[in-house]
């Protein structure tokens, strides 16, 4: 780097001319000359700097690029620079700035590479691995899968459908027209600004979806989430899960339904399980029934789970109402069928002695982890 003195000597002839001008003060010229010299010095410093450590690089950044960098005060000098020299001065300022930016970018890159290298160098192959926190299946999923598998073994095919359903599939097609009192029992959530779409209140809506798009024979099992406008408590929730079953073919009888459900009950609750069908009402089945299984906790002797009756209600079922078949475009003179629907949460709660349904939807891993060993 040329020394300050040599530099001034070198530049002096240029300034000598200006020194003769009346309007320009000598002192001002000298400051300007010194500003030129300082810039040249800074540029030389930037170009030769070789900071090695992270700290030294940070110091470099602060000195040349920080908010109080050393180039900044020199920029102010431009107003003292005579017009003939302004361009040179400006270029020199830019040169200094660019040099600092480029140098810093290069230094930062070197630093990043070094950091990566040193990390690899520190790699301890004998260190124990990060613990992998294994999730566990949810008790609802466990119970639902178990039910679905039992029906799959006898030829039922899984049908999954939308949770946002239109009024027709959820209610009307299922023989529950707008003025039907059964709608009150399944009060659900209507989508804002419409009476057309609801969060489905029952998986029975899948029956209508399948019957309007497939031709018999139909044999489906439909698991999924449903919603109802219920006050949340330990025993009921505004969201829960159901599994729906539907079988439509020529000559399907009530006896077929009973035998199938009996098979299910024994597979689900053990070979000694008994079933009982009680007459009931559902708008979409005729005749309709509710099915109880002999209590799988006390085997009929009477306990808290079965409220000392020896029986536990698990599902609703019946022969598909001919009107439902007509609604969905299936000829009831040719085809008949049965349907059934059951809630999952209550069965899961009984199976795993869970006393509060809200636990199912809180995602508390302390609760969920208790089911890690269930298969
Ligand atoms: N959808 C009924 C409910 O949510 C359950 C049900 C009853 C479904 C009888 C059926 C059935 O398919 O045949 O309460």
pLDDT tens digits for range 11-50: 655 655 555 554 456 667 778 888 899 999 999 999 999 8
Atom 12 of ligand 1, residue of closest alpha carbon: 340
Q: How far is the CA of 245 from the centre of ligand 1 (A)?
A: 9
285 has a pLDDT exceeding 70: yes
Tokens in use for 89? 């001065």
Residue span(s) of the chain under CATH 3.30.930.10 come to 139-371
Per-residue pLDDT, 1:
46
User: How many CA atoms, within 13 angstroms, populate the side-chain half-sphere of residue 144?
Assistant: 20
Tokens in use for 168? 């027709």
Q: Is 32 within 8 Å of 93 (Cβ atoms)?
A: no
Mean residue pLDDT of the chain comes to 89
Q: Pocket of ligand 1, candidates 202, 288, 345: which has the most ligand atoms within 8 Å of its Cβ, to mutate?
A: 202
Atom of ligand 1 nearest to the CA of 242: 4
Atom 5 of ligand 1, residue of closest alpha carbon: 341
Atom 2 of ligand 1, residue of closest alpha carbon: 341
Atom of ligand 1 nearest to the CA of 317: 13
Confidence of residue 3 (pLDDT cuts 50, 70, 90): low
Q: How far is the CA of 141 from the centre of ligand 1 (A)?
A: 20
Per-residue pLDDT, averaged over 308-313, amounts to 92
Per-residue pLDDT, 243:
98
Per-residue pLDDT, averaged over 47-66, amounts to 91
* Residues paired with 218 in a beta bridge: 248
Q: How far is the CA of 202 from the centre of ligand 1 (A)?
A: 7
Confidence of residue 193 (pLDDT cuts 50, 70, 90): confident
pTM of the model: 0.67
Pocket of ligand 1 (CB under 6 A): 202, 204, 244, 282, 285, 316-318, 339-341
Buried b (16+ CB within 10 A) or exposed e, 228-254: beeeeeeeebebbbbbbbbbbeeebee
Task: Report the CATH fold assignment for 139-371.
Answer: BirA Bifunctional Protein; domain 2 (3.30.930)
Greatest mean pLDDT range, 58-62, 180-184, 219-223, 234-238 = 219-223
Count the neighbouring beta carbons within 10 Å of the beta carbon of residue 312: 20
Q: Pocket of ligand 1, candidates 180, 184, 282, 322: which has the most ligand atoms within 8 Å of its Cβ, to mutate?
A: 282
Q: How far is the CA of 285 from the centre of ligand 1 (A)?
A: 8
pLDDT, tens digit (0-9, with 9 covering 90-100), for 326-374:
999 999 999 999 999 999 999 999 889 898 999 999 989 899 999 988 8
- The mean-pLDDT minimum among 255-269, 276-290, 356-370 falls in 356-370
**Coil/strand/helix, residue 149:** helix
Q: How far is the CA of 138 from the centre of ligand 1 (A)?
A: 24
Q: Pocket of ligand 1, candidates 284, 288, 313, 343: which has the most ligand atoms within 8 Å of its Cβ, to mutate?
A: 284
Distance separating alpha carbons of residues 357 and 281, to the nearest angstrom: 26
Per-residue pLDDT, 16:
54
Atom 6 of ligand 1, residue of closest alpha carbon: 341
Higher-pLDDT residue of 4, 293? 293
Per-residue pLDDT, averaged over 70-95, amounts to 89
205 has a pLDDT exceeding 90: yes
Distance separating alpha carbons of residues 42 and 105, to the nearest angstrom: 18
Per-residue pLDDT, averaged over 221-227, amounts to 97
Per-residue pLDDT, averaged over 267-293, amounts to 96
Starting at the earlier edge strand, list the strands of the sheet with 218-227: 157-158, 218-227, 239-249, 336-343, 311-320, 285-294, 275-282
Atom 4 of ligand 1, residue of closest alpha carbon: 202
Q: Is 181 within 8 Å of 283 (Cβ atoms)?
A: no
Higher-pLDDT residue of 32, 126? 126
Q: Is 314 within 8 Å of 150 (Cβ atoms)?
A: no
6 has a pLDDT exceeding 80: no
Q: Is 311 within 8 Å of 295 (Cβ atoms)?
A: yes
- The mean-pLDDT minimum among 227-231, 258-262, 305-309, 311-315 falls in 305-309
Distance separating alpha carbons of residues 132 and 88, to the nearest angstrom: 64
Q: How far is the CA of 244 from the centre of ligand 1 (A)?
A: 7
Tell me the pairing of strands 164-166 and 275-282.
unpaired
Per-residue pLDDT, averaged over 181-185, amounts to 78
- In whole angstroms, how large is the CA radius of gyration of the chain? 41
Q: Pocket of ligand 1, candidates 209, 328, 341: which has the most ligand atoms within 8 Å of its Cβ, to mutate?
A: 341
Distance separating alpha carbons of residues 289 and 342, to the nearest angstrom: 12
């Amino acid at each position: 780097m040329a020394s300050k003195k040599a530099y001034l000597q070198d530049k002096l002839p240029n300034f000598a001319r200006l020194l003769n001008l009346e309007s320009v003060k000598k002192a001002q010229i000298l400051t300007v000359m010194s500003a030129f010299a300082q810039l040249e010095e800074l540029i030389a410093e930037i170009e030769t700097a070789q900071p090695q450590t992270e700290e030294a690089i940070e110091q470099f950044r602060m000195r040349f690029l920080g908010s109080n960098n050393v180039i900044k005060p020199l920029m102010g000098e431009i107003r003292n620079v005579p017009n003939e020299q302004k361009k040179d001065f400006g270029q020199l300022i830019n040169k200094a700035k660019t040099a600092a930016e480029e140098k810093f970018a290069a230094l930062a890159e070197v630093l990043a590479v070094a950091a990566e290298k040193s990390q690899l160098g520190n790699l301890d192959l004998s260190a124990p691995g990060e613990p992998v926190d294994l999730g566990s299946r949810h008790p609802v999923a466990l119970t639902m899968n178990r039910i679905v598998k039992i029906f799959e073994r006898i030829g039922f095919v899984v049908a999954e459908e939308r949770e946002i359903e239109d009024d027709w599939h959820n209610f009307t097609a299922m023989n529950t027209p707008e003025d039907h009192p059964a709608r009150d029992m399944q009060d659900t959530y209507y989508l804002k600004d419409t009476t057309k779409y609801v969060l489905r209140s029952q998986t029975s809506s899948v029956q209508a979806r399948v019957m309007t798009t497939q031709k018999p024979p139909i044999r489906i099992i439909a698991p999924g989430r449903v919603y109802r406008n219920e006050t949340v408590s330990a025993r009921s929730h505004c969201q829960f899960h159901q599994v729906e079953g539907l079988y439509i073919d020529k000559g399907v009888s009530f006896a077929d339904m009973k035998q199938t459900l009996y098979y299910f009950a024994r597979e689900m609750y053990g070979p000694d399980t008994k079933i009982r069908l009680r007459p009931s009402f559902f708008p979409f089945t005729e005749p309709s029934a509710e099915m109880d299984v002999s209590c799988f906790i006390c085997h009929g002797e009477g306990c808290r789970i079965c409220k000392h009756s020896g029986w536990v209600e698990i599902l609703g079922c019946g022969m598909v109402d001919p009107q439902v078949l007509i609604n969905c475009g299936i000829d009831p003179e040719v085809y008949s069928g049965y349907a059934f629907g059951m809630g999952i949460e209550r069965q899961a709660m009984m199976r795993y002695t869970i006393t509060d349904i809200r636990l199912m939807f809180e995602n508390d891993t302390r609760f969920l982890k208790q089911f890690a060993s269930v298969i």
